[in-house]
């Protein structure tokens, strides 16, 4: 289920006709020269955003003003808070108080019942309490009144209007007014707001199976913004949302537009609303753990940087600030910890913009036990697939319809591709990336390899190298399942204990470090760890491959190089892995040099 659109009719005289609350709206252009210049400039801008446009499309969009807002300021993050006490609101506010760009959308009606005298009085008192810490950064709304009819529920309607007037008198900077507000009540609120420089937002909830009609022009003359709230639970709802935002942009060229999404897709689409023309976007408070405090603020800043929405990066090559999402846009997901996926988001969005592809890559972190929601979004979206990162690599294999051979052996995936039949196929590109980076060393594929690290990356490297013909040994420091994994690989694969590893001196051609921090457990001394670089110094391998890309240089690489060995850095491995992932997902190999460039520009390499 979802929203229904009012059918557009276009006359032969370039008139857009949309049924509205106040009759037929007409838009004309009589100045041919001005329109021609607009078309040229608009085509250049839209192509710069990555849109594939024809002259006819541009002309139509230009005539009716469906152009993205050109403001140089980044969109404002907006956090919606619904709590039953001022203290809970205060707690959430203090997590984010140092970031002056965040606005707090406070649903006053969640604090008490507004249709009783006691509730009305209580909310009035709480407004004053909120003003002591939120006065300059709050958007006050009465959500329960958004669908209220003055005739059917006069008490609730009257109290909602009275509360909004009180909020204006106190001086909160933004006031949300229900779309069904009567014009005389809106004028009363506006008459106070105008004197104080307060901005009014007219909000409209478009429910399932409801038609959207433009708001009355007289109402909009009193408002600075128009907020559209829709529910998106599946691909049909998403298509309707995209069609609707195109139409709404036609009418909101003289007002700011705010788009807010509810439903299954809300965490993803609320991040994308700037690409739909929204001047604010909702940062989902449900994903925030108040106990983590300022760590969550840092995550929000990382998220804005990844998406190119922060002020310093909105003109970057990977920014989605001026990309216009359309019905053809493929919404691809990056499931992992926010911050841990930063390189992937920047690389893939940068490459998609360079190639002018109709696709975006959106990061999302869910609760580990709620990963099924991620899969539901993927199945219901117009998407090529999803990149899978920590901590979901092993969990994700239980949700796909088919696994590649290597993925099945390893028991983890880092990519899900959605095929033409909407089946989800799991892949693991990490091991193949190791195979391909080794090709430039011209080392024989029957060479011996020692792999340190028994996590998903180490096992992926072992499986792919073994399949390519290498003789593989895995260092076993107490993992009871590792011997069984080596037996599953077959002849040419095995494990070796730390006690016996020194016997390999001069017998190991390639050493692969798949540990996250360059250390392994010492089973002989519980609680102690050994440096991988020390083992490399003793064994003197001909080639050292680093799979950790947290740092450009590691002690392990130094140890191998100082003894005359060839080295492959973690960055080389990372770029090869992203190249293979992009190719499987998008059907073509990317420009790796460009991906390296944008990642450096973002300060992530």
Which pairing describes strands 9-10 and 16-20: parallel, antiparallel, or unpaired? antiparallel
Angle between helices 532-539 and 555-562 (to 10 degrees): 10
Instruction: State which residues of the chain have pLDDT below 70.
Output: 1-74, 209, 283-300, 522-528
In this structure, the strands spanning 174-178 and 138-141 are parallel
Which residues 6+ apart lie within 8 Å of 477 measured at CB? Answer: 454, 497, 498, 520, 521, 522, 523
DSSP-assigned states of every residue in 159-180: HHHHHHHHHHHHT-SEEEEETT
Do 428 and 458 meet the contact criterion of CB atoms below 8 Å apart? Answer: no
Read out DSSP for 447-508?
A: -EEEEE--SHHHHHHHHHHHHTT-EEEEEESS-TTHHHHHHHH-TTEEEEEGGGGGGGTTT-
pLDDT on residue 275: 79
pLDDT at residue number 27: 33
- Match 């997902």 to its residue by tokens: 585
pLDDT, tens only, 123-142: 889 999 999 988 888 999 88
Closest CA to 397 of 373, 418, 424: 424
**CATH class of the domain comprising 293-423:** alpha beta
Please return the burial class of 500, using the count of CB atoms within 10 Å of its CB with bins 0-12, 13-18 and 19+. exposed
Domain ranges of the chain: 76-288, 293-423, 431-568
In DSSP notation, 501-531 reads GGGGTTT-SEEEE--SSSEEE-TTSTT-EEE
Write the burial class of residue 383 (CB in 10 Å: 0-12 exposed, 13-18 middle, 19+ buried): buried
Beta-strand pair 415-418/385-388: antiparallel
Instruction: Answer for the pair 510, 451: CB distance below 8 angstroms, yes or no.
Output: no
User: Cα dist. 125→37, 95, 131, 139, 262 in Å?
Assistant: 55, 24, 10, 17, 30
Question: What is the rounded distance in angstroms from the CA atom of residue 246 to the CA atom of residue 73?
Answer: 22
Q: Is 251 helix (H, G, I), strand (E, B) or coil?
A: helix
Is 431-568 in the same CATH topology as 293-423?
yes
Cβ(456)–Cβ(410) under 8 Å? yes
pLDDT for 20: 33
Give the integer Cα–Cα distance in Å for 497 and 399. 35
Q: Are 556 and 538 in contact (CB under 8 A)?
A: no
**Structural tokens at position 216:** 């009355």
* Cα 460 from Cα 577, distance rounded (Å): 12
Cα(533)–Cα(304) distance, integer angstroms: 37
Phi/psi region, residue 14 (left: phi>0; alpha: psi -120 to 50; beta: rest), is left
pLDDT digits (tens, 9 = 90+) for 256-290: 899 999 888 887 888 788 878 888 887 654 444 44
Take residue 564 and report the two structure tokens written for it: 């005359």
Packing angle between helix 456-467 and helix 482-489, nearest 10 degrees? Answer: 20
Residue 393 is predicted with a pLDDT of 93
The pLDDT of residue 528 is 66
Indicate yes or no: pTM above 0.85: no
Contact criterion met (CB below 8 Å) for 510 and 541:
yes
In this prediction, residue 25 carries a pLDDT of: 32
Domain 431-568 of CATH type 3.50.50.60 = no
User: Which CATH code is given to the segment(s) 76-288?
Assistant: 3.20.20.70
pLDDT of 556 reads 92
């Amino acid at each position: 289920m979802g929203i229904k659109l009012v059918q557009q009719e276009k006359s032969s005289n370039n008139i857009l006709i949309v049924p509205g609350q106040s009759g037929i709206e007409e838009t004309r252009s009589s100045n041919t020269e001005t329109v021609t210049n607009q078309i040229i400039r608009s085509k250049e801008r839209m192509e710069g955003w990555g849109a594939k446009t024809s002259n006819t499309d541009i002309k139509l969009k230009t005539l009716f003003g469906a152009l993205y807002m050109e403001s140089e300021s980044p969109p404002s993050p907006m956090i919606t808070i619904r709590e039953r006490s001022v203290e809970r609101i205060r707690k959430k506010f203090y997590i984010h108080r140092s970031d002056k760009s965040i606005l707090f959308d406070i649903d006053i009606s969640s604090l008490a019942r507004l249709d009783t005298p006691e509730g009305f009085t209580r909310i009035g008192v709480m407004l004053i309490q909120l003003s002591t810490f939120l006065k300059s950064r709050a958007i006050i709304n009465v959500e329960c009144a958004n669908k209220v009819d003055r005739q059917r529920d006069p008490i609730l309607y009257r109290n909602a209007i009275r509360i909004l007037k009180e909020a204006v008198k106190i001086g909160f900077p933004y006031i949300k007014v229900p779309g069904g507000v009567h014009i005389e009540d809106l004028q009363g609120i506006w008459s106070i707001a105008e004197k104080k420089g307060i901005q009014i937002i007219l909000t409209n909830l478009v429910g399932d199976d409801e038609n959207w009609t433009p708001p009355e022009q007289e109402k909009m003359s009193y408002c600075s913004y128009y907020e559209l709230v829709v529910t998106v639970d599946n691909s049909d709802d998403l298509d309707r949302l995209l069609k609707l935002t195109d139409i709404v942009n036609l009418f909101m060229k003289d007002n700011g537009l705010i788009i807010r999404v509810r439903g299954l897709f809300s965490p993803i689409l609320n991040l994308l609303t700037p690409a739909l023309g929204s001047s604010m976007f909702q940062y989902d408070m449900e994903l925030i753990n108040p106990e983590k405090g300022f760590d969550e603020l840092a995550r929000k800043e990382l998220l804005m940087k990844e998406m190119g929405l922060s002020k310093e990066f909105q003109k970057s090559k990977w920014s989605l600030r001026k990309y216009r999402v359309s019905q053809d846009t493929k919404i691809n997901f990056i499931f992992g910890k926010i911050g841990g996926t930063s390189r992937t988001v920047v690389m893939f969005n940068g490459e998609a913009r360079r190639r002018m592809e109709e696709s975006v890559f959106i990061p999302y972190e869910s609760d580990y036990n709620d990963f099924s929601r991620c899969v539901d979004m993927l199945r219901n979206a117009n998407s090529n697939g999803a990149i899978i990162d920590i901590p979901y690599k092993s969990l994700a294999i239980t949700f796909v319809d088919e696994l590649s051979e290597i993925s099945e052996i390893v028991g983890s995936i880092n990519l899900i591709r959605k095929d033409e039949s909407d089946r989800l196929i799991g892949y693991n590109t990490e091991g193949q990336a190791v195979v391909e980076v080794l090709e430039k060393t011209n080392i024989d594929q029957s060479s011996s390899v020692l792999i340190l690290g028994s996590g998903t990356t180490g096992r992926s490297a072992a499986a792919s190298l073994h399949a390519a013909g290498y003789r593989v040994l895995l260092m076993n420091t107490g993992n009871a399942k590792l011997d069984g994994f080596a037996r599953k690989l077959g002849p040419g694969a095995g494990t070796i204990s730390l006690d016996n590893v020194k016997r390999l001196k001069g017998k190991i051609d390639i050493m692969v470090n798949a540990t996250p921090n360059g250390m392994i457990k010492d089973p002989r001394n519980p609680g102690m760890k050994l440096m991988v670089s020390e083992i490399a110094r003793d064994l003197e391998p001909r080639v050292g491959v680093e799979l950790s890309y947290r740092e450009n240089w590691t002690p392990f690489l130094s140890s191998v190089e100082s003894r005359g060995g060839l080295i492959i850095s973690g960055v080389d491995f990372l770029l090869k892995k992203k190249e293979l992932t992009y190719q499987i997902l998008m059907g073509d190999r990317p420009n790796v040099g460009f991906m390296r460039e944008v990642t450096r520009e973002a300060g992530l390499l």
